[in-house]
Amino acid sequence: MSFPIHRACYRTLDPDFAGPVFVADIDRTYLMTRFSSLRGMARIPFERAEEKQDIEGMARLFREIRSGPDEVERSTPLYFVSASPRQLRPVIEKKMQLDGIGFDGTTFKDWSRVVQRMRLQRLREQIGFKLTALVANRAELPLGAEEYLLGDDLEHDPLTYALYADLLAGRIPSGDAERVLVRNGVLAGDARDIVTAVRRLAPGSGVKRALIRLERNGNPEALLESGPGVVPCTGAFQMSVVLWRLGCIARSGVGRVASEMIHRGIDPQRLTVRLADLVRRALIDPDDARSLASELAAHGLVEPLHELPAVDPAWERVQRRAPDRVWTPDEYLEG
């Protein structure tokens, strides 16, 4: 592919493997990387692993994902993607090791090749980069791999993940895919290469869910149209509850994520509010929410959940949508 990326893979899955595979963003999903200014970008290559600050609860969540839904470690396949320069791989991978996160591969943006080719807009262009990384990773996964994607709402992850899921599933016609990508800021050559690579992929299990950590405005309604495939979450606690309900992590893991967040200064009342919000959005059954809240409150991790909100009809309709519907909103497909 023409977009410069640099990949490292540390595990080859059995061709007969079938089940969840997680691919997660690093920047602003796991680590507090600053891409919003030139000064922030300039500092990235010089930070040490000990200076990298993880977002509260996310390292614990990745450990729970790795362990899976049972109390016995199963080493769920986990891959990371970062727009940081490839030279930072040793630093970021050391940070993951310090945080106890097991992982199977990483993909970084190759800044030096970007500069050599004098396509400097690629330093901040994320959709083409991330689609290139996702498709390259998918090409090495078994057909039975069911992808779960984690990202944030600062660098176009919701749109990128929706486009990726739709491309894999053929919900965007291959003859129109290149136009759609260019319309959304992907350079023409990169769009052509991405579409060509997708066509070469054998049909597989595709993407099951994309969880998005909200930071830009904290409003889940902004992603209503992309549901139920794209799931907006306020922090690691909501992500943990959603992944528990999807059968990807253990119920006890929700408590461990909550505990980590409390130790990082998050008020238990905030977690109660976030649990109630999942009920409002029909992401957790009210009875399950009461049971979970009672269990967590007994350990001082949330405030008692005395009153549950009514389920929002709009979100209830979202959860009833067919899973094979188009994830990408019309505004990004038309014209």
Nearest to 58 by CA among 294, 233, 250, 246: 233
Q: What is the fold of 1-233?
A: Rossmann fold (3.40.50)
Q: How many CB atoms lie within 10 A of CB 174?
A: 12
Residue 129 confidence (pLDDT) above 80: yes
User: From CA 285, how far away is CA 79, in angstroms rounded?
Assistant: 30
| pLDDT tens-digit series, residues 259-318 | 999 999 999 999 999 999 999 999 999 999 999 999 999 999 999 988 999 999 999 999
Report which of 288, 267, 276, 233 is spatially closest to residue 61, judged by C-alpha positions: 233
Residue 172 confidence (pLDDT): 95
DSSP SS3 for 255: helix
Cα–Cα distance for residue pair 274/89, rounded to 1 Å: 34
The residue type of 37 is: S
Give counts: helices (H), strands (E), the chain. 13, 7
| pLDDT for 43 beyond 50 | yes
What is the per-residue pLDDT for 123? 63
Domain edges within the chain: 1-233, 235-323
**Structural contact between residues 33 and 27, judged by C-beta atoms closer than 8 angstroms:** yes
Helix axes 235-245, 268-280, angle to 10 degrees: 50
Q: What DSSP state is assigned to residue 31?
A: B
Q: Which residues contact 215 (CB under 8 A, 6 or more apart)?
A: 28, 152, 153, 154
Supply the pLDDT for residue 50.
57
Q: Strands, E, within the chain: which ranges?
A: 5-9, 18-25, 78-85, 105-109, 144-152, 207-213, 230-233
Q: What is the mean pLDDT of the chain?
A: 91
**Tokens representing 203?**
């049909």
C-alpha distances (whole Å) from 280 to each of 199, 236, 246, 315 are 39, 18, 17, 8
- What's the one-letter identity of residue 335? G
DSSP for 53-99 reads PBPTTHHHHHHHHHH-SSSS-----EEEEEEEEGGGHHHHHHHHHHT
Does position 207 have pLDDT exceeding 80, yes or no? yes
**Is the pLDDT higher at 114 or at 179?**
179
